[in-house]
């Protein structure tokens, strides 16, 4: 393990309709990390091997908040991209994160580091097209969605049987409609229990992504509360937190399944509510016959601050 942590590090925090993001904006970090060459995915893996304590220090207790996703930017290896970035939370790394991509774009815009318009972002999941509108809104195009299981039956340890689709658009999801619970804030404790039960059962049965990835985002779908919207979702994230936003990558994966099932046509809008009522607006276009979802959401800056890592602090690198 290498040290990597400076005494102070500047960050910008934001929330994407409720879901928090922390972007490291300080170049001192890049100078202290020796990540070598290679794609963003390769350098992210070196970060994980050598500097994982920096992740915990940035977003874990006592400096982070529940559900926070951190972002470190780096030069892209892909010459067609403007920027590279990788994502992490209290428990590990995410190959892609929609809400944090929105948070990153609004943060860079706020700092005057990008102009309104489109840029291509290299992430561990692939290239994401990102368009900042100059204010609070960002549109992104995830890696194209794929569904690997349709109507997979799952018998949970608590005796409840559900079915759902396993799908990806940069992260792996189980998308479930017949869970039998209301998707409303009052039901969050029960939604949490049900999603954990599904996640445990998928793990126990060895249901994974096609390269062995955990199906670590469980999505319980429901009816919208606002008649202008089309769907609603409770999303359990790998850190055990629920997504305060509708989950950008999940919305992208869902749009892929709606396209495949003939329930959404190219260009038609799909407005997805979060468990708290915040909305992402999605649609898709056909690119060489493939469904390419487009997701738009809004973000607000909540803090510009410097994290302190005092050498004498026993929890300098976060709580164990
Ligand atoms: O928006 O893709 C997303 C996301 C993943 C985990 C939390 N948010």
Per residue in 239-256, pLDDT (tens digit) is 999 999 999 999 999 999
Q: How far apart are CA 54 and CA 59, in angstroms?
A: 9
Q: Is 237 in the pocket of ligand 1 (CB under 6 A)?
A: yes
Q: Is 179 in the pocket of ligand 1 (CB under 6 A)?
A: no
pLDDT at residue number 2:
59
| 3-state SS class at 91 | coil
pLDDT at residue number 308:
96
Q: Which ligand 1 atom sits closest to the C-alpha of 69?
A: 7
Contacts 24+ apart (CB under 8 A), 290-294: 290/144, 291/144, 291/145, 291/255, 291/256, 291/259, 291/260, 292/141, 292/144, 293/141, 293/142, 293/144, 293/145, 293/169, 293/251, 293/252, 293/255, 293/256, 294/139, 294/140, 294/141
pLDDT at residue number 157:
83
- Report the predicted TM-score, pTM, of the whole model to 2 decimal places: 0.97
Q: Which ligand 1 atom sits closest to the C-alpha of 250?
A: 2
Convert the pLDDT of each residue in 93-132 to its tens digit: 999 999 999 999 999 999 999 999 999 999 999 999 999 9
Q: Is 85 in the pocket of ligand 1 (CB under 6 A)?
A: no
pLDDT at residue number 1:
45
- Candidate of 245, 255, 281 to mutate for ligand 1, largest count of ligand atoms within 8 Å of Cβ: 245
The distance from CA 118 to its chain's CA centroid, rounded to whole angstroms, is: 20
Nearest alpha carbon, ligand 1 atom 5? 97
Helix axes 248-260 and 98-110, enclosed angle (nearest 10): 130
pLDDT at residue number 3:
78
Q: Is 121 in the pocket of ligand 1 (CB under 6 A)?
A: no
Q: How far apart are CA 287 and CA 21, in angstroms?
A: 30
pLDDT at residue number 4:
75
Residue 309 corresponds to which tokens in the numbers above?
A: 């890592």
Catalytic residues: 97, 247
Q: How far is the CA of 143 from the centre of ligand 1 (A)?
A: 14
Q: Is 191 in the pocket of ligand 1 (CB under 6 A)?
A: no
- Candidate of 98, 101, 215, 233 to mutate for ligand 1, largest count of ligand atoms within 8 Å of Cβ: 98
Q: How far apart are CA 161 and CA 304, in angstroms?
A: 46
Residues of the chain with pLDDT under 70: 1-2
Whether 253 contacts 167, CB under 8 Å: yes
Q: Is 248 in the pocket of ligand 1 (CB under 6 A)?
A: yes
């Amino acid at each position: 393990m290498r040290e990597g942590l400076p005494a102070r590090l500047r960050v910008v925090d934001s929330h994407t309709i409720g879901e928090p993001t922390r972007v490291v904006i300080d170049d001192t970090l890049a100078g202290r990390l020796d990540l070598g060459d290679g794609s963003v995915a390769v350098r992210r893996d070196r970060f994980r091997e050598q500097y994982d304590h920096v992740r915990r220090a940035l977003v874990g207790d006592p400096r982070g908040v529940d559900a926070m996703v951190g972002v470190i930017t780096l030069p892209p290896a892909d010459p067609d991209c403007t920027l590279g970035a990788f994502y992490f939370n209290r428990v590990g790394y995410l190959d892609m994160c929609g809400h944090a991509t929105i948070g990153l774009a609004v943060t860079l815009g706020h700092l005057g580091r990008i102009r309104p318009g489109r840029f291509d972002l290299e992430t561990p999941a692939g290239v994401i097209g990102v368009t900042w509108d100059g204010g609070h809104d960002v549109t992104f195009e995830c890696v194209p969605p794929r569904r690997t299981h349709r109507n997979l039956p799952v018998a949970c340890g608590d005796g409840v049987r559900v079915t759902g689709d396993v799908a990806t658009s940069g992260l792996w999801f189980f998308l479930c409609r017949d869970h039998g619970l209301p998707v409303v804030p009052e039901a969050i404790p029960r939604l949490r229990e049900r999603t954990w039960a599904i996640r445990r059962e998928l793990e126990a049965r060895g249901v994974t992504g096609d390269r062995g990835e955990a199906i670590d985002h469980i999505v319980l779908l429901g009816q919208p509360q606002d008649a202008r919207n089309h769907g609603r979702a409770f999303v359990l994230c790998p850190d055990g937190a629920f997504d305060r936003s509708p989950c950008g990558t999940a919305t992208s994966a869902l749009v892929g399944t709606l396209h495949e099932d003939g329930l959404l046509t190219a260009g038609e809008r799909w407005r997805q509510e979060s468990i708290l009522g915040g909305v992402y607006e999605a649609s898709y276009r056909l690119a060489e016959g493939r469904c390419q979802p487009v997701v738009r959401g809004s973000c607000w800056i909540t803090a510009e601050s410097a994290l302190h890592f005092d050498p004498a602090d026993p929890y300098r690198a976060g709580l164990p």
